[in-house]
């Protein structure tokens, strides 16, 4: 046999053997992990941590007062529900800004930075935390220069007028802050805080869920799915669960 053919044959046999060994070893590894025991541990889920109320983790006291005033105008208290401040919307935003959302750690944040379509959302370089810091400062600076007052010192009707002008892009905020875009961020986060699970700091006492008749995180409500135009008869349940679900240990 030609020496070159011998080398090719040896190399082919070596690669085949190595591939077979890899498959066998991998299969054996899976077999050990799946055979005779479950591949997961019971009660090992990683639920979201309950937000502890009290104090501010991102906002300064001045920023917090401004955000609370804004969310209370976006969701004013009425006969259907409490306002955005009491519902904890500002607390929700504060805690979100200290985590992955605030730093954009799960998003691609490299350039080039170009204006996006309305359907694409924000396309700039600044993270939500940076946008809040600069946006709130810009609101304060603009109003103090124009009216000599902070947003919290305005009458509710004047606060509404200012926010409507922001939403329409009719306010020229300083330091390059785009008013309509920042209002959109405030609106989005306020709605999230009002309708999200209370575990994240907002939706106090599940107020929005009770208003809508939403069952929340109940594991099974199939008996009521087909009952159209009928209110759900049971109270909503948070991700945290319900006290009646707790296992009583003897």
pLDDT exceeds cutoff 60 at 245: no
- 84: confidence class by pLDDT, cuts 50, 70, 90: very high
Q: Which residues have CB under 8 Å from 72's CB, separation 6+?
A: 83, 84, 85
pTM score, whole prediction: 0.78
Q: Alpha-carbon dihedral of residues 116, 193, 170, 112, nearest 10 degrees?
A: -20
Rounded Cα distance, 195 and 197, in Å: 7
**Is residue 84 within 8 Å of 195, Cβ to Cβ?**
no
Exposure letters 68-89 (e unless 16+ CB within 10 A, then b): bbbbbbbbeeeeebbbbbbbbb
Mean pLDDT value across residues 145-152 = 97
Mean pLDDT value across residues 152-157 = 97
Spans of all domains in the chain: 61-110+118-212
Q: What is the pLDDT of residue 53?
A: 75
């Amino acid at each position: 046999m030609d020496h070159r053919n011998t080398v090719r044959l040896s190399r082919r046999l070596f690669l085949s053997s190595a591939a077979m060994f890899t498959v066998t070893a991998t299969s054996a590894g899976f077999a050990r992990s799946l055979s005779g025991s479950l591949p997961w541990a019971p009660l090992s889920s990683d639920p979201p941590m309950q937000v502890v109320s009290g104090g501010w983790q991102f906002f300064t006291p001045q920023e917090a007062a401004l955000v609370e005033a804004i969310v209370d105008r976006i969701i004013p208290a009425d006969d259907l529900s409490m306002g955005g401040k009491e519902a904890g919307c500002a607390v929700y935003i504060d805690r979100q800004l200290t985590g992955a959302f605030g730093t954009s750690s799960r998003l691609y944040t490299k350039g080039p930075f170009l204006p996006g379509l309305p359907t694409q959302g924000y396309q700039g370089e600044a993270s939500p935390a940076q946008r809040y810091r600069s946006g709130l400062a810009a609101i304060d600076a603009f109003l103090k220069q124009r009216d000599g007052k902070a947003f919290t010192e305005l009458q509710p009707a004047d606060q509404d007028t200012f926010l409507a002008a922001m939403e329409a892009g009719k306010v020229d905020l300083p330091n390059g802050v785009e008013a309509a875009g920042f209002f959109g961020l405030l609106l989005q986060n306020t709605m999230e805080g009002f309708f999200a699970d209370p575990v994240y700091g907002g939706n106090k006492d599940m107020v929005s869920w009770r208003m809508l008749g939403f069952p929340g995180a109940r594991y099974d409500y199939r008996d009521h799915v087909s009952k159209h135009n009928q209110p759900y008869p049971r109270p909503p349940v948070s991700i945290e669960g319900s006290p009646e679900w707790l296992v009583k240990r003897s």
